[in-house]
Amino acid sequence: MVLLRTRSDQGARARAAGRPPAARNLPRSRRHARDTPFRAGREGAPGGHGGRIRTTLAVEQLFEYDGAVSSGPTILHADLDAFYASVEQLLDPSLRGRPIAVGGSARGGVVLAASYEAKAHGVSGGMPGWRAARLCPGLTFVRGSFERYQGLADEVMAVLRDVTPLVQRISIDEAFLDVSGATHLFGPPEQIGRLLRRRVREEVGLPISVGAASTKHLAKIASQVAKPDGLVVVEPGTEREFLDPLPVSLIWGVGPVTEQRLADRGIHTIGDLARSDRKAVERLLGRAVGSTLHGLAHNEDPRRVSTHTRAGSVGAQSAMRRVVPTRELVREVLSHLAERVAGRLRAKGRAGRTVTVRVRFAGMRAVTRAHTLAAPVSATLTITEVAEQLAWQAIGDQEEERPEITLLAVSVSKLTTQVAVQLELELPPPDPWRPGSPTGAARWALDRSMDAARERFGRSAVGYLPATMRRGGVPDEFRELAEHDL
C-alpha cells in the first residue's frame, strides 16, 4: 500500500466524515490541541479507498522532549476504529468510503456497528435497522463476517506485541501498552504511536487510533479524542488542561445514568467534576464510585498495564427491559447465558468451581450470589441449574414482593484445565453437579458432542431447548466477540 500523507485544513477537518458520537462535544479540546504552546500537527490518514484520497479527521499533538526517556506519556491505548465495519470495508473494497451498517436491515433487526461514513449521519450500534435506514438513505446493510473478526484483531495484537511484551488486551479490538522500556529502541511514545498506526494500516489494513499519556485513564480518553484514525499525545504537566474541557461521559466507567446524575448537578465537563467537592460527589454517586471518578478527573489513576493473559473468570450477561421475573423467563435467559459461558470454557479446555450470578434490579441496584462446587464444572446444564438457584436466592432476598429485574449475568471462576472428566465410583446420593457422577459425565459427553456438531454445522444446528428458542436481536457470535477472552 502506498502511504499518502496530506495536510488537512480546518475546512477539511470540519467536512471530514464520520465524527464519532463521543467526539461531537469536543471542539474545545481540539482548540486546546491547537492553542497549546506545543507544535500541533495533523496527520491525514492514508487514503486509497478505491483510488480516492480522503482526508480524514485526525489530530496529532506533538511536543518537545527534554531527552529523558524514563518518564513521559508512556502508557498507550490503541483502539481499532469502527472495527467490525472497517473489517467489512477491508474485505469488500466496493464498501470503502461508503456508509455501511453491520447487522440489521432497513426492515428491522439491530445495527451492531456502523462505519464512520454512516456515523456521520447519526447511525450507531444498537439502533434499530429501520431507523438507521431513515437517518442515512444510502446506507448499505451487510451481514457480519464473524469468523474473520477474531483473526484480524489477533493480527493487530501481534503487531502491538512486536513493540513491547507489556500489552494488556481489554477487548477484541483495544489494548493498553506500557512502552517505557521500548523508547530506547523505537523512540519517544509519540513516535511509537505513529509506528504502530502505520504498521497496523500496512500489515493488517485497518485504521487504529492511539492515545498516549501518563495514566491508563488518560490514554484511553486520548485515543477517543484521536478518533477516527488519529494519534493524541498528552504531555505530563498538561493533563488537567487537556481533560478539563472534555465531557464527563469520556471517563471510563461513566455511563448514561451517572452522566445524567452529574448533569442534574450542573457537572458536564471533567473540569466541572474535578472542581466539585469530593465528599459531595461521593454522596451523589456512592462512596467508592464517587471517590474513583473524582480522582480520575484529577488524573489520579494508579492502575498499571497488566499482562496476566489468563482471565480468572468467564462470563456473559443479558440486559433486558424492566420485567417481573417468572420461572420461565429466568430459566430461558440463564440457560442461554450458561450455554455461552460453558461453551467457551470447553472450547479452551477449562472448567471452574465457582458459579456467580448477578441480578440487577430496577434502579440499578445489583445483587451478586456465588456458589463454589466440590469439583470444577463446564457442563451447560449444571451451570444453568446452579445459576438458577442463585438467581432466585438473590430475587427472594429483596424486600419487595415482586421486584423488577433489568439484567442477569453468569460467570464461572476458580478455573482449572479440564480436557477429560474422571469417572467416579457411584457415591450415594447421586449428585448430577459432580462431573464424575454418572449424570455429570453424561452431561459432559452430551456437551462435547453438541460442540462437535456445532463446529461442523454451525451454532444453531443443535442446542438445549430454552436456549435455542431464545431469539434476541444480537447474534451470539457477536456477543462472544464482545465478551472477555480466556
Chain position carrying cell 491547537: 34
Q: How far apart are CA 443 and CA 380, in angstroms?
A: 8
The interface region with Mg ion, picked from 22-30, 72-80, 155-163, 448-456 by CB under 5 A, is 72-80
Question: Least Å distance between CB 255 and Mg ion?
Answer: 17
Cα separation, 64 vs 235, in Å, equals 9
Q: CB-wise, 188 or 207, nearer to Mg ion?
A: 207
Residue (83 or 242) nearer to Mg ion, CB: 83
Least Å from the CB of residue 482 to Mg ion: 11
Using rule CB under 5 A, residue 80 touches Mg ion:
yes
**Annotated active-site positions, please?**
174
Site string for Mg ion, 120-159 (x = CB under 5 A): ----------------------------------------
Residues 6 or more apart from 464 whose CB is under 8 A from it? Answer: 335, 339, 380, 381, 384
Shortest Å, Cβ 119 to Mg ion: 12
Please name which of 203, 170, 208, 231 lies closest in space to residue 40, comparing C-alpha atoms: 231
Going from the C-alpha of 216 to that of each of 74, 85, 219, 305, 417, the distances in angstroms are 10, 26, 5, 8, 32
447 in contact with Mg ion (CB under 5 A) = no
Task: Closer to Mg ion by CB, 211 or 466: give it.
Answer: 211
By beta-carbon proximity to Mg ion, the closer residue of 218 and 450 is 218
Q: How far is the CB of 172 from Mg ion (least distance, A)?
A: 8
Please list every residue from 157 through 176 that binds Mg ion, using CB under 5 A: 173
Residue 79 in contact with Mg ion, rule: CB under 5 A: yes
Residue 79 is labelled as binding a ligand: yes
Q: How far is the CB of 83 from Mg ion (least distance, A)?
A: 5
In sequence order, which residues have a C-beta less than 8 Å from that of residue 199 and are 6 or more positions away? 159, 162
The β-bridge relationship of strands 40-41 and 60-61 is antiparallel
How many angstroms separate the CA atoms of 120 and 124, rounded?
Answer: 9
Q: What is the CA radius of gyration of the chain?
A: 24
CB-hemisphere CA count at 13 Å for 443?
A: 24
Q: Which stretch binds Mg ion (CB under 5 A): 82-90, 216-224, 238-246, 279-287?
A: 82-90
Nearer to Mg ion, 79 or 272 (CB): 79
With CB under 5 A as the contact rule, which of the stretches 81-89, 222-230, 341-349, 405-413 interacts with Mg ion? Answer: 81-89
Per-residue buried b or exposed e for 267-290, using 16+ beta carbons within 10 Å of the residue's own CB: bbbbbbbbebebeebbebbeeeeb
User: Applying CB under 5 A, which part among 79-87, 159-167, 315-323, 334-342 lies near Mg ion?
Assistant: 79-87
CB atoms within 10 A of CB 206: 21
| 242 phi-psi bin (left φ>0, alpha ψ -120 to 50, beta other) | alpha
Give the number of residues in contact with Mg ion, rule: CB under 5 A: 4
Q: What are phi and psi of 437, to 5 degrees?
A: -70, 160
Question: Of the two residues 174 and 447, which places its CB atom closer to Mg ion in the complex?
Answer: 174
Instruction: Examine residue 480 and tell whether it contacts Mg ion (CB under 5 A).
Output: no
Is the CB of 404 or the CB of 477 nearer to Mg ion?
A: 477
What residues between 199 and 218 interact with Mg ion by CB under 5 A? none
Is 476 known to sit in a ligand binding site? no
Per-position x/- string for 323-352, each x denoting binding to Mg ion as judged by CB under 5 A, each - no binding? ------------------------------
Residue 117 sits in the site that holds Mg ion (CB under 5 A): no
User: Minimum distance between the CB of residue 350 and Mg ion, rounded to whole angstroms?
Assistant: 27
The CB density around residue 335, as the number of other CB atoms within 10 Å, is: 25
The per-residue b/e assignment along 410-427, b for 16 or more CB within 10 angstroms, e otherwise, is: bbbbebeebeebeeeeee
CB of 79: closest distance to Mg ion in angstroms? 4
Return the closest-CA partner of residue 28 out of 264, 268, 338: 268
Annotated binding site: 79, 173
**Sequence ranges of the binding site for Mg(2+):** 79, 173
Q: Which residues bind Mg ion (CB under 5 A)?
A: 79-80, 83, 173
